Copies of this chain bind each other. A is one copy, B any other.
């Protein structure tokens, strides 16, 4: 049997001090230099390591923030997790990440597990639990929401300003000269939001939306829904609800011999890592995942006293690459910039959506 880990008692004995003094020395309390010295030596000699479990029991705080995330495979959520760790690390805290695969039941269990572990806070990404349930499940612990699926809640929340992102896309396409623009919408809440924003932005510009197709937020979803968009001979541009659908559309277009961007402009949403490596490189809207994570972490750590400015909106950036160009039967396009940029250009952030 391995010799059990040294405890604070062992250190105290070895250093000829009381455990109280050792505890103070370890936590930066007032201790005479001599004692501190002996204690440090004892710690080094024994290889003592503080037991954070015992510490958590007495202090009532664990230095742990629970993070519930749909999955970690897609880069977006991973970046949010990274952002959360950024701010926790700065405070000597840590994240405990649990995935729920978008299943409410798994989300419920995750909250239970994390609460049982006495986390100091909870960050829920893409949560879909009803507010009342969330409130009882969370009990006393601070909660912050990121990109929640569902109606407004009383919890502090960060989300992407989808409306601003969509507006930037529409403005970009219109400035290129496109007049009949289709949309490939995802079935989730954010998909619907983007579609509505799309229609609204178009109407504001005095245009009627082209074909509006709904499908899954996946590559296959994009590919299978593609015909319903491509059959409309007048459509010169398609805005996809996310990058994954855009890839499916791109493939479907290629199979039909439709050249992008010459015959058709395509825009995505998210700016996944690989969007720039597609052929053609995808024009899309970049989600500031890491920053969303950072603000969410700050929101759990210091919950806003009053419920002002909920949800916080983070503005995305339009990333123009080579999947967009003036429409073939151009002419109107000549009014805008001279030529499409040869390399990647990031449009300045737009105004946050007024609320």
Contact = CB atoms under 8 A, between A and B. Distances in A.
A53 B117 contact: yes
Contacts of A81: 72
A263 B71 CA distance: 40
A224 interface: no
Interface string A105-131: 000000011011110000000000000
Contacts of A277: 219, 247, 250-251, 274, 278
A96 B279 CA distance: 38
Contacts of A117: 52-53
A140 interface: yes
A57 B49 contact: no
Interface residues of A, number: 46
Residue of A72, A85, A116, A272 contacting most chain B CB atoms (<10 Å):
A72
A54 B62 CA distance: 12
A288 interface: no
Interface in A65-101: 71-73, 75, 78-79, 81-82, 85, 94, 96-99
Nearest to A289: B73
Taken together, the copies of this chain in the complex come to: 2
A231 B353 CA distance: 52
A273 B5 contact: no
Given A52-B116, A79-B73, A118-B51, A94 B94 contact: no
A187 interface: no
B73 A273 contact: yes
Nearest to A114: B94
A23 to B, nearest CB: 15
A328 interface: no
Interface string A241-266: 00000010011001000000000000
Contact of A116 (B49, B75, B96, B98): B49
A331 interface: no
A55 to B, nearest CB: 9
A129 to B, nearest CB: 16
A51 B82 CA distance: 28
A82 B51 CA distance: 28
A57 to B, nearest CB: 5
A348 interface: no
A139 interface: yes
A189 B57 CA distance: 43
Given A72-B82, A73-B78, A116 B50 contact: yes
A113 B85 contact: no
Given A72-B78, A85-B99, 12 more contacts: A51-B118, A52-B117, A71-B82, A72-B81, A73-B75, A73-B273, A96-B96, A247-B274, A247-B277, A273-B274, A278-B278, A278-B279
